[in-house]
A and B are shown apart, each in its own frame.
Chain A
Amino acid sequence: MHEMGIASSVIDAVRHESELRNGVRVLKVGLRVGEFAAVDPESLRFCFEALIAGTDLQHLQLDVQFCHRRNHCQHCGEYFEAAEFPFICPQCDSIATESKGGDELEFAYMEIEET
């Protein structure tokens, strides 16, 4: 269960970004979580809720965008989402493809209150 640590990094980052903007209220934070990030979105959400409950951030919303593996075709250069094995380029049918993502664990956006 390392989602607690990850949730707490998310909250720290939100506080930090808010401080950089004169303490603006952050309403929502969006994350991109890849299928190979080793993070379970449900348990991340659970930990997140537990950590903000009863604090000044208790209204902060979490948006998790789940990302599949993406591959790059070494034959024609196409980038494509590779959800199902085997990974075949939809453009040229080649199986000579390499992984180019799917392990991300990163911030996508933040929504802040209008000032």
Chain B
Amino acid sequence: MNRIPMERKVLSENDRVAAELRAIYERNGTLCVNFISSPGSGKTALLERTLAGFEAGRRVAVLTGDIQTDNDARRLARYGFPVRQISTGGACHLDARMVQKGLEGWPLEDLEILFVENVGNLVCPTSYDLGEKSRVVLLSVTEGEDKPLKYPATFYRADLMVMNKLDLLPYVPFDAALAHEYARRVNPQIEILNVSCTTGEGFDEWYRWLEAQRVQTGAAG
């Protein structure tokens, strides 16, 4: 019997396409952000409020992935920025190829920010690099503070955890400090913001975080 060593990733085809996308974003100074969370944590709500706060002239676009329906895309289209739906046809995550297809025909040279809302799922999207610069995981206070320990891979690979639905904190037993500690236990480098998409609390910090990411892409102003 003959054993040969193999040096390659299992998802190397996805990674190859993701690297192509990343190169395009970098060339154009586009900030791409990939949002991952359980169904209902508030990815679309966060994007809605974010878009609502942007001036009309900003060059921002959204791709939103869902297994079925274009509800999220319709919610997001109300803010006047280009929005496209990616229907995954059953798949529980977006992959780089779907994003590449979703972007066909869009003038990427002009884009400041591309938001990608992944399929609601705290596990499967984690393995798929979409070429994003920043990965954001949302955790809402109704989900329980131990989610970072139960789904460590997603928190391990995220740059930022957005703790959402802060307005509900008085009504649910949720230890915010403990949730932060668990997230940092899995990923000591993770940044954390607390927000409410309903009241707008924490959005100043959120916008500042986005701007800081944009500056890192080399795009000034």
Interfacial residues, chain A to chain B (CB-CB below 8 A): 1-2, 5-6, 9-10, 13, 17, 27, 30-31, 35-39, 85-86, 98-99, 102-114
Other contacts beyond A30-B6, A31-B10, A99-B189: 4, CB < 8 A: A2-B91, A105-B11, A106-B8, A108-B5
Q: Which residues of A contact B11 (CB under 8 A)?
A: 6, 9, 105
Q: Does B187 contact A (CB under 8 A)?
A: yes
Q: Which residues of A contact B127 (CB under 8 A)?
A: 2, 6, 37-39, 105
State whether A103 touches B156 (Cβ < 8 A). yes
State whether A107 touches B7 (Cβ < 8 A). yes
State whether B153 touches A36 (Cβ < 8 A). yes
Q: Does B126 contact A (CB under 8 A)?
A: yes
Q: Does B169 contact A (CB under 8 A)?
A: no
Q: Which residues of B contact A35 (CB under 8 A)?
A: 152-153
- Cα distance, A38 to B152, chains bound together (Å): 8
Interfacial residues, chain B to chain A (CB-CB below 8 A): 1-13, 91-93, 123-124, 126-127, 152-154, 156-157, 185, 187-189
Quick one: closest A residue to B153, CB to CB? A38
Task: Knowing A27-B1, A112-B2 are in contact, say whether A38-B126 is a contact too (CB < 8 A).
Answer: yes
State whether B124 touches A38 (Cβ < 8 A). yes
Consensus secondary structure, chain B interface: mixed
State whether A99 touches B187 (Cβ < 8 A). yes
State whether B156 touches A102 (Cβ < 8 A). yes
Consensus secondary structure, chain A interface: mixed
- Cα distance, A39 to B47, chains bound together (Å): 28
- Cα distance, A106 to B13, chains bound together (Å): 12
State whether B5 touches A109 (Cβ < 8 A). yes
- Cα distance, A29 to B153, chains bound together (Å): 24
Task: Knowing A27-B1, A36-B153 are in contact, say whether A108-B91 is a contact too (CB < 8 A).
Answer: no
Q: Which residues of A contact B189 (CB under 8 A)?
A: 98-99
B221 to chain A, nearest CB (A): 33
- Cα distance, A111 to B4, chains bound together (Å): 6
State whether B188 touches A38 (Cβ < 8 A). no
Q: Which residues of A contact B93 (CB under 8 A)?
A: 2
Q: Which residues of B contact A110 (CB under 8 A)?
A: 3-4, 6
Give the residue of B4, B8, B92 whose beta carbon is less than 8 angstroms from that of A1: B92
Q: Which residues of B contact A39 (CB under 8 A)?
A: 127
- Cα distance, A102 to B124, chains bound together (Å): 17
Q: Give the 4 A-B residue pairs with the shortest CB-CB distance, closest first.
A: A38-B153, A107-B6, A2-B124, A38-B126
Q: Which residues of A contact B6 (CB under 8 A)?
A: 17, 30, 107-110
B5 to chain A, nearest CB (A): 5
